[in-house]
Amino acid sequence: MLKTALSALPRDTRDTLFLLAVVAWVAVMQIPHVPWWCSTLTAGVLLWRTTLTLRGRPLPNWPWRLGLLLITLMATWATHGTLLGQDAGVTLVVVLLALKTLEMRARRDAFVVFFLAFFTLLTHFFYSQSLLTAAGILIALLGLLTALVNAHMPVGRPSLWQAARIAAGMAAMGAPIMLVLFLLFPRFSPLWGVPGEDRGRSGLSSTMRVGQIAELVLDDGIALRVRFEGDPPPQAELYFRGPVLSRFDGVEWRPSRAEFPGRRALQSELSVAGDPIRYEVTMEPSQRPWLFLLEAAEQAPQVPGMNVRMTPELQWLTDRPIGQLVRYGAISHTTFRHGPLEPVLALQEQVALPPGFNPRTLELAQQLRREHGRGPEATPRLVQAVMERLRTGGYLYTLEPGVYGQHTADEFWFDRRQGFCEHIASSFVILMRALDIPARIVTGYQGGELNGIDGFWTVRQRDAHAWAEVWQQGLGWVRVDPTSAVAPGRTGSLQRLSAAEGAFAGAIRNFNPTLAAQLRAAWEAMNNRWNQWVLNYTQGSQLDLLKNLGFKSPSWTDLAYVLIGVVVLVSLLGAAWTLWERQQHDPWLRLLRRARTRLADLGVASADHTPPRELAQRVRQRWGETEAARRIAQWLLQLEAQRYARPGAAPSPSLATLQREFRQLAWPRKDPR
Amino acid sequence: MNKFRARLRTWWHNRLPRRDTLTLTQRNVYILPTRAGWMLALTLLLLLVASINYQLNLGYLLTFLLAGSAVAGMHMCHANLRGLTLHLNPPEPVHAGQAAVLEIRLSSERKRTRHGIGMGVIGANLAHAPLAWTDVPAQASTTLQVSWPVPARGQHALPALHAFTLFPLGTFRVWTVWRPASTVLVYPEPESAPPPLPPGEPQAGSSGSARVQSTGEFDGVRAYRRGDPIKAVVWKKAAQAFAAGRDELVSRDALSTQRQQLWLDHAQCGAGDLEGRLSRLTAWVLMADRLGLDFGLRVPGREIAPDQGPTHRARCLETLALC
């Protein structure tokens, strides 16, 4: 239907429509990353251009294009406040691509569209480098190449399919070059600073306002992938530690401010015990500077190109935001002790509460202190009591606790009695502090899911979690997860509140629950492999490759040498091929020559110009009407027919068949004389 | 600078041997990037810089895949022309002021079609030379016609031709320069409104008859008889007769034309300079040939006995061309 409609169009119209379709595909992929007006304007311009093409109308004059351009510039300025930044640039290039189609008259202009489209394609990678994006980009690349090839087939009306095949063939021939360059092209550090701290971010933030992790809990995106060497710890122990929040202003939790001068500041004072757990983490870009490690790690993980340090709160920080996939190996302990064992001044910060908030919680604290006593030795009892209250007080774990007001802890403890990790942890820590027990919130990820296909653990954004740490004399900081008291299933097993799933996934799940899980596992394993092999191919991996090739201490200059060597080698091969091509290499002639040499060995001489028919005759003369001679002669005649039969004559066997038959021929014995 | 380049080109072209069949090999096929090719190189550079700066591994992949495709495209472009055989069919003579049609057979032994091959005459301005485009099917040949506005009359060597291709990406221009060995014969331009044919001259040895007092027109006609060759029908008169409502055909009386001989004489054709005379004689030759008359031609130093037919006409025209 579409095909017949297309073939009815004049060639120019068809070509233009095809190019517009490719441009539309390039622009559609940018919809999530550009402001709404940009998508609308682009769609409008492309539709307008399509209508003009179909109706055979002239293209708009320059005032139109200039006007649209000015509108775009102003709208970009209004949206982004600049014309130069990354997001503004993406917005501009998308609109420019669409506007350029309005002055696409000759095939030459197709070039400009082509080059602009490539910039637009590259900008996709600012936002996503997933397998799906790559597939979308590959389609766009093939579409653009097809349009270009089609533009250089000036004769007649070649089908787009034909052009597409040529383009695909060209890309296939280019793939080895791509591979070699990708493997060996030296990876430099950024030429100038990587902007983009302000890009769309996902993942944990550095502050916590009650109600915030809720967004993450609904996000099925992947935060980390972890591969353990040896047995993984039980799921209940999988606490991936992120930002530690110690300051509370009544509304928001923030990280500690280094108020205390160096020596008096809180020290990490970490001591570990038990067997180390070795593992490797592949972390999705978070645009934030912290690394997630399993609870306590003594040694800094090695992240290529970054400096990593540990804060006193056992957080691991990098020197710049993580804007790309990173992979790091680490060694952690789940049995450890950290923090001061005796009271220090710096712990004061960990009991501070803003005045005027949560009066009823403070009252509750008074009451608990009356019941369970006070002082450092009462701390375990108090913690137990509060945990008991959470377990038995009718508290509910839910993702939809409603909107909390000003006194979040009061509301949680007395009114609503429901919430999820952040409400529970926040209320718990407030209550602890009200009890004069140093306490703080730790955010991070808890749990994970084993992908049975590749053995990686997948930690998703919805595994984001907040728990508490309570300081006890003689023990230091002790992890307390109040959420586990409310909802024991939240940690430990896979039983979680899951986000609503799409209609399609739902349908599959109803149809076959294990199939859905398997499909998902397979897809994620594929994605993971993509990440491990492609996205995580860094300078380190390059140098590893060189090490495998036998370089002792490779550097990037060695990479350049190897690359140059490959180029030289390929050029030499090309030159050799050219020389070879000059020689006679017609397969038919070669086959005849082989037969001729064979016969000459057996005593049937022939000249270079003797035709196969003549050879056959000589064979018959030499050996008479024996079976072998008859078959050799027959073969020679077939060889002749293969090349010289008139069209329409009985079909002769293919050259490949003849070659096979030649090997199977029974040759007469050489005369003993 | 341009002058220097033109001279350089002329010098280079003059070194090429002239031949009518040219097989394109590594040695005579040239390749250079086009402006679009440079633009592509710039694009690749920018993509690379962006990939480096934003540390985009997928950006590297895209850049290198595009670069790889461009390299593959370069090879495809070169292979598109390499191995092709060009053969020039000897060109037909033409009149000055017309365009000679050079018919070139392109044959390919490759198993794949060669797309988008353009041919043209290398003129003063390479960019605006008219081009003929063709595809050469796999293991087959195709013909292509290139027109060349011929210079003045005479025997002329053919201009240098170029065959080129931009296929598949337009980033490279692959071309060859070819000087065919054939020549083209250019007849003089026929006068556009020539006077009527001159009167016939009495045939040597025949007695003067009434026919001698000719009106200048060849009125030796008679009523059409069955069996008269169709060439002998005087269509002009027939048309007049039809217009007047009569239904009769007249034929040229061969006997009557035999008695007097039509000589197209350079000395007596009336026009001014040599070219003008040749031009008029050419028109007369064509006219007489169209009328199917016997005619002779006299030009300085050469006389061609009266005869008729295409061979005779060609001989006369050649004489006029080379005179």
Mean pLDDT comparison of A661-665, B60-64, B98-102, B208-212, highest-scoring range? B60-64
Averaged pLDDT for residues A571-584: 78
Chain-centroid distance of CA A173 in Å reads 25
Q: Do A167 and B59 touch (CB under 8 A)?
A: no
Over residues A277-302, the pLDDT tens digits come to: 899 888 887 778 888 888 888 888 87
Q: Do B62 and A323 touch (CB under 8 A)?
A: no
- What is the average pLDDT score of chain A? 82
B26 forms beta bridges with: none
For residue A569, the distance in angstroms to the closest alpha carbon of chain B comes to 16
For residue B49, the distance in angstroms to the closest alpha carbon of chain A comes to 8
- Strands B260-265 and B295-299: what pairing? parallel
Over residues A360-382, the pLDDT tens digits come to: 888 888 888 888 887 778 888 88
- CB neighbours of residue A334 within 10 Å: 19
Whether the pLDDT of residue A198 is over 60: the answer is no
- Contact residues, chain A, for B170 at CB < 8 Å: 111, 148, 151-152
ipTM above 0.85, yes or no: no
Q: How many residues are given for chain B? A: 323
Q: At what angle do helices A655-664 and A587-601 cross, to 10 degrees?
A: 20
Closest CA to B55 of A196, A33, A290: A196
Q: Do B58 and A149 touch (CB under 8 A)?
A: no
Percent over 90 (pLDDT), chain A:
10
What is the three-class DSSP state of A75?
helix
- Contact residues, chain B, for A323 at CB < 8 Å: 54-55
Residue whose tokens read 């718990």: A428
Averaged pLDDT for residues A543-554: 78
Whether the pLDDT of residue A587 is over 60: the answer is yes
Given this model, what pLDDT does residue B67 score? 94
Q: Which residues are CB-contacts of A74 (< 8 A; sequence separation ≥ 6)? A: none
B44 vs B123, residue with greater confidence: B44
Write the CA distances from B266 to A190, B278, B306, B319, integer angstroms. 86, 7, 15, 12
For residue B114, the distance in angstroms to the closest alpha carbon of chain A comes to 10
Q: What is the dihedral of CA A602, A608, A611, A616, to 10 degrees?
A: 0
Element (H, E) at B174: strand B172-178
Measured distance CA(A602)–CA(A621) in Å, rounded: 13
Residue of B nearest to A187 (CA): B52
A202 vs B41, residue with greater confidence: B41
Buried/exposed A298-314: b ≥16 CB within 10 Å, e otherwise: eeebebebbebebbbbb
Q: Which positions 154-193 of B are in contact with A (Cβ < 8 Å)?
A: 166-170
Q: Do B72 and A177 touch (CB under 8 A)?
A: yes
- CB neighbours of residue B233 within 10 Å: 17
Q: Is A424 left (phi over 0), alpha (psi -120 to 50) or beta?
A: alpha
Mean pLDDT comparison of A136-140, A159-163, A217-221, highest-scoring range? A136-140
Whether the pLDDT of residue A645 is over 80: the answer is no
Measured distance CA(A182)–CA(A171) in Å, rounded: 15
Measured distance CA(B250)–CA(B236) in Å, rounded: 10
Contact (CB, 8 A) for A70 and A58: no
- Contact residues, chain B, for A196 at CB < 8 Å: 54
Query: Which pLDDT band holds residue A197 (cuts at 50, 70, 90)?
Result: very low
Q: Which residues are CB-contacts of A53 (< 8 A; sequence separation ≥ 6)? A: A13, A16, A17, A20
For residue B62, the distance in angstroms to the closest alpha carbon of chain A comes to 8
What is the three-class DSSP state of B263?
strand
Backbone angles phi, psi at A490, to 5 degrees: -65, -40
Given this model, what pLDDT does residue A194 score? 53
Measured distance CA(A420)–CA(A358) in Å, rounded: 19
Percent over 70 (pLDDT), chain B:
87
Beta strands in chain B (DSSP E): 21-23, 30-33, 85-89, 94-95, 99-107, 114-121, 131-136, 141-149, 154-157, 161-165, 172-178, 183-187, 201-202, 221-223, 250-252, 260-265, 295-299, 302-307
What is the three-class DSSP state of A344?
coil
Over residues B231-273, the pLDDT tens digits come to: 777 777 777 777 777 777 777 765 554 557 788 888 887 767 8
- Contact residues, chain B, for A170 at CB < 8 Å: 69, 72-73, 76, 168-169
- Strands A271-273 and A335-337: what pairing? antiparallel
Averaged pLDDT for residues A44-62: 88
Q: Rounded to a whole number, what is the largest CA-CA distance in chain B?
A: 107
- Take residue A383 and report the two structure tokens written for it: 């913690």
Please list the alpha-helical segments (H only) found in B56-197.
57-81
Q: Do A181 and B67 touch (CB under 8 A)?
A: yes
Q: Do A167 and B168 touch (CB under 8 A)?
A: yes
User: What is the per-residue DSSP string for A148-192?
Assistant: HHHHT--SS---HHHHHHHHHHHHHHHHHHHHHHHHHSPPPPPSS
Measured distance CA(A355)–CA(A407) in Å, rounded: 11
- Contact residues, chain B, for A122 at CB < 8 Å: 47, 50-51, 56, 59, 62-63
Measured distance CA(B16)–CA(B121) in Å, rounded: 15
Averaged pLDDT for residues A615-641: 86
Measured distance CA(B178)–CA(B16) in Å, rounded: 8
- CB neighbours of residue A575 within 10 Å: 10
B126 vs A490, residue with greater confidence: A490
Burial of A223 (0-12, 13-18, 19+ CB in 10 A): buried
Strand order in the sheet with B302-307: B201-202, B260-265, B295-299, B302-307
Whether the pLDDT of residue B71 is over 90: the answer is yes
Closest CA to A23 of A112, A86, A127, A128: A112
- Strands A277-283 and A222-229: what pairing? antiparallel
Whether the pLDDT of residue A10 is over 50: the answer is yes
What is the three-class DSSP state of A227?
strand
Averaged pLDDT for residues A487-495: 55
- CB neighbours of residue A327 within 10 Å: 21
Q: Do A578 and B169 touch (CB under 8 A)?
A: no
- Contact residues, chain B, for A154 at CB < 8 Å: 116, 118, 133
DSSP secondary structure code for residue B14 in this structure: H
A600, HSE (Cβ side, Cα atoms, 13 Å): 11
A178: nearest CB among B57, B64, B167: B64
Closest CA to B21 of B143, B105, B113, B118: B105
Given this model, what pLDDT does residue A260 score? 64
Q: Rounded to a whole number, what is the largest CA-CA distance in chain A?
A: 125
Alpha-carbon Rg for chain A, nearest whole angstrom, is 36
* Inter-chain CB pairs, A–B, below 8 Å: 152
DSSP secondary structure code for residue B265 in this structure: E
Contact (CB, 8 A) for B66 and B108: no
- CB neighbours of residue A232 within 10 Å: 18
Q: Do B64 and A182 touch (CB under 8 A)?
A: yes
